[in-house]
Amino acid sequence: MTDAASFPKADAVADELPRFTPLQRLIHWLMAAGIIAMLFIGVGMVSTIAATHLTLVSIHKPLGVALLALVIIRIAVRFRYGAPPLPVDLPSPMKLAAKASHYAFYGLMVAMPLIGWAMLSAADYPITLWGGFNLPPIVAPSRELHALLWDAHRTLAFVFFTLVLLHVAAALFHALVRRDGVFQQMAGGARP
Amino acid sequence: MADPTRSRSLLASLTAIGFVVGGGAAAFAYTAGWLSPDRLTPAKVVDAFAPPGGPALGHRRNHAKGVCFTGSFESNGAGAELSKAQVFEAGRYPVVGRFNFGTPSPVAPDAKARVRGFSVRISTPDGQEWRSAQISAPVFPVSTPQAFYELLQASGSKAPEAMKNFAATHPEIAGFGGWTKTAPWTASYAEERYNGLNSFIFTDAGGKDRAVRWSWVPEAPPVSVPADDIAKRGPDFLQEEITQRIAAGPARWTLVVTVADPGDPTADPSKAWPADRRTVEVGKLIADKVEPEADGPCRDVNFDPTVLPLGIRTSDDPFPAARSAAYAVSFDRRTAEAKDYPAK
């Protein structure tokens, strides 16, 4: 996916810092807000019997579908524009961790909404996105499949949140400790 | 690293990162309820239904004993004045339902069936569904989900005064308690009136909202049977009776919608509305086939009362949200335990 050679260098001319394109940065930050909201809404909605439960569920479904649409666009944009290179002096275990965690992120971003959608399909619930609009089921009703998908949705949510925390820690490590410009590739701003 | 300024700033940076990550994790844990042992979670409510020996795996955690039925809802069109939902347009819509009674045990004797239940799923051609679960009691025992949880704890408690203490602090239970003591028993699911109890909002085509409750009123006249006779019947007499009755010919209920007046207690299902409120008969449910639950069409239906078509929504009654959250836990658990409840 990464193709540094084709990456536009317009910013780099100004401060020698190749960045993600503005479109990529926009999608990244939109999805960051959406995913963090989804994870909090998810654990919150299953932890209460108050009316909030229904409100949170009614946000969780359309937001999940919106994130699925965004990740599809994001993957296409990533194939088109690639990603700026990591610093040459980044130790190879960190490079490996960076690459592996990004594959994991893409996998989760695609899988979580599909698993949620399939889980509701397997449970034979109408998948209502908003008043009167339902998504079609993507699997046939099945108690065994529902159990499997429910487990997966829940487990992967915790994996996802852990990955988000690691990602934030790594981003801040780049920003505050290594000061190598990796943070600014996505956040913008001048290299420290 | 020998430079003390640099190592101080490194320490400050790492501390800042720790705060951000730790704060994020703490906020997540708080949202999940892990830091709030007093939060009433749906899992706690469902756990509170379990008998001392633990729940019956693979089964609904309450109203665990029941049979499936199928049939149709024949809408007469009168409800269209109250709600724009397609289910109220004159027509015939397929139904999957379930006769059941309040017990955590799928093998409880039917003589224990004081609170009988009637769950209904009506599907309309627009792809929407109306799911509901009604009971034979005319009022709910308590006013709030929190009080209901306390009631479950009190009734499961070994302390001799537990129920007495509960009743003292929740006087609203007298209405339900009086009904259980004095209401006549019948020997058939077909002779029961099933009440929605919770209030919902119907929205008509012009956008006007009305708070309503509803009941399914049986066509079969109730025949009162002495409680002593009920106690002598076979353990599955209700299931056997309804199976035989419907095999011989369908059973019917009229759906009666009651419209609240301003100021009626819509948020409290333990309080009946005055008897003179306007009612509208909107159609008939015809149950024409009964099947055992184990491999029947209702087994894997979660009769979540918040699955509603456009034109019906929840009101300020706190119970449908609580029921939805708890029913989902019951559903998630029983589908994961399918091997403990083999289809026959």
pTM to 2 decimals?
0.94
Determine the structural domain holding residue A98 and report its residue range.
Answer: 9-13+18-187
Q: Which of B59, B60, B61, B63 is catalytic?
A: B63
The closest CB to that of B321, out of A43, A53, A131, belongs to A53
| Neighboring chain B residues of A171 at a CB cutoff of 8 Å | none
| Per-residue pLDDT, A131 | 83
Q: Is the pLDDT of residue A2 over 60?
A: no
pLDDT band at A3 (very low <50, low <70, confident <90, very high): very low
pLDDT in the model for residue A106: 98
Q: Which residues in chain A touch residue B60, judged by CB atoms under 8 angstroms apart?
A: none
Sign of the C-alpha dihedral computed for residues B97, A115, A29 and B23 taken in this order: positive
pLDDT digit string, tens, across residues B223-254 = 999 999 999 999 999 999 999 999 999 999 99
| Domain assignment present for A143 | yes
With a pLDDT cut of 90, the percent of chain A lying above it is 86
Annotated binding-site positions of B for heme:
327
Tell me what the mean pLDDT of segment B10-25 comes to: 96
Q: What is the mean pLDDT of chain B?
A: 96
Contact B40 A48 (CB under 8 A): yes
How close does chain B come to A144, measured CA to CA in Å? 6
Question: Has residue A4 been placed in a domain?
Answer: no
Mean pLDDT (whole number) for A10-31: 79
CA B85, CA B216: separation in Å to the nearest integer? Answer: 18
- Is pLDDT above 70 for A7? no
B24–A164: do the CB atoms touch at under 8 Å?
yes
**Residue with more model confidence, A9 or B162:** B162
Query: Are B78 and B282 a contacting pair, CB within 8 Å?
Result: yes
In this predicted structure, the answer to whether residue A6 has a pLDDT above a threshold of 60 is no
- Binary contact (A147, B24; C-beta < 8 A): no
Whether residues B31 and A44 touch (CB distance < 8 A) is answered with yes
pLDDT of the residue at A188: 86
Q: Which residue of A has its CA nearest to B144?
A: A50
> Which residue from B14, B32, B129 is facing A47, i.e. has the nearest CB?
B32
Question: For A119, which residue in chain B has the nearest alpha carbon?
Answer: B332
Q: Taking CB atoms and an 8 Å cutoff, what residues of chain B touch A165?
A: 21, 24-25
In the predicted model, what is the mean pLDDT of residues A98-118? 97
Q: How many domains does chain A contain in total?
A: 1
* Mean pLDDT of the region A27-38: 98
Hunting for tokens 């209904």 — which residue is that?
B120
Residue A4 has pLDDT above 80, yes or no: no
Tell if the CB–CB gap between B300 and A161 is shorter than 8 Å: no
Q: Which amino acid is at A17?
A: L
Separation of alpha carbons A187 and B177, rounded Å: 63
Written in H, E and C, the secondary structure of chain A is CCCHHHCCCHHHHHHCCCCCCHHHHHHHHHHHHHHHHHHHHHHHHCCCCCCHHHHHHHHHHHHHHHHHHHHHHHHHHHHHHCCCCCCCCCCHHHHHHHHHHHHHHHHHHHHHHHHHHHHHHHCCCCEEEECCEEECCCCCCCHHHHHHHHHHHHHHHHHHHHHHHHHHHHHHHHHHHHCCCHHHHHHCCCCC
Contacts of B20 in chain A (CB under 8 A): 168-169, 172
List CB contacts (< 8 A) between B326 and chain A.
49
Q: Give the number of A-B residue pairs with CB atoms closer than 8 Å.
A: 119
pLDDT of residue B56: 97
The percentage of chain B sitting over the pLDDT mark of 70, rounded to a whole number, equals 99
Q: Is the pLDDT score of A15 beyond 70?
A: no
Which residue of A49, A129, A167 is the best one to mutate when testing the B interface, meaning the one whose CB has the most B CBs within 10 A?
A49
pLDDT over 90, % of chain B: 96
Mean pLDDT of B266-271: 98
* d(C-alpha A180, C-alpha A87), whole Å: 7
In a domain, residue A111? The reply is yes
Contact B324 A54 (CB under 8 A): yes
Nearest one of A97, A85, A84 to A173, comparing CA atoms: A97
- pLDDT tens for B171-191 read 999 999 999 999 999 999 999
Range A113-140 average pLDDT: 96
Q: A143 in contact with B at a CB cutoff of 8 Å? A: yes
Adjacent-strand bridge partners of B184: none
Q: Is A167 exposed, middle or buried (0-12, 13-18, 19+ CB in 10 A)?
A: middle
pLDDT at B6: 76
Cβ of B302 within 8 Å of Cβ of A48? The answer is no
pLDDT, position A16: 60
Chain-chain contact of B20 with A51 (C-beta, under 8 angstroms)? no
Set of chain A residues whose Cβ sits within 8 Å of the Cβ of B25? 165
Establish whether B170 is a catalytic residue: no
**How many CB atoms sit inside 10 A of residue A112's CB?**
24
Q: Which of A53, A125, A151 sits opposite B307 (nearest CB)?
A: A125
Please provide the average confidence, as pLDDT, over all residues in chain A: 92
Q: Please state, as a whole number, how many other Cβ atoms lie within 10 Å of the Cβ of residue B310.
A: 17
Which chain B residues contact residue A125 at CB under 8 A?
302, 304, 307
Binding-site members of B are: 327
- Cβ contact B300–A44 (<8 Å): no
Looking up tokens 């020998």 gives: B2
Q: CA–CA separation, B189 vs B63, rounded Å?
A: 14
Q: Tell me which amino acid residue B171 is.
A: P
pLDDT score, position A132? 83
- The reply to whether A192 falls in a domain is no
Q: Whole-angstrom Cα distance, residue B75 to residue B89?
A: 6
In chain B, whose CA is at the least distance from the CA of A142? B300
Q: How close B330 gets to chain A, by Cα (Å)? A: 12
Q: Which of B253, B325, B333, B246 is nearest to B290 (CA)?
A: B246
Predicted confidence at residue A14, as pLDDT, reads 45
Out of B13, B309, B328, the one facing A176 most closely (by C-beta) is: B13
CATH of the domain at A122: 1.20.950.20
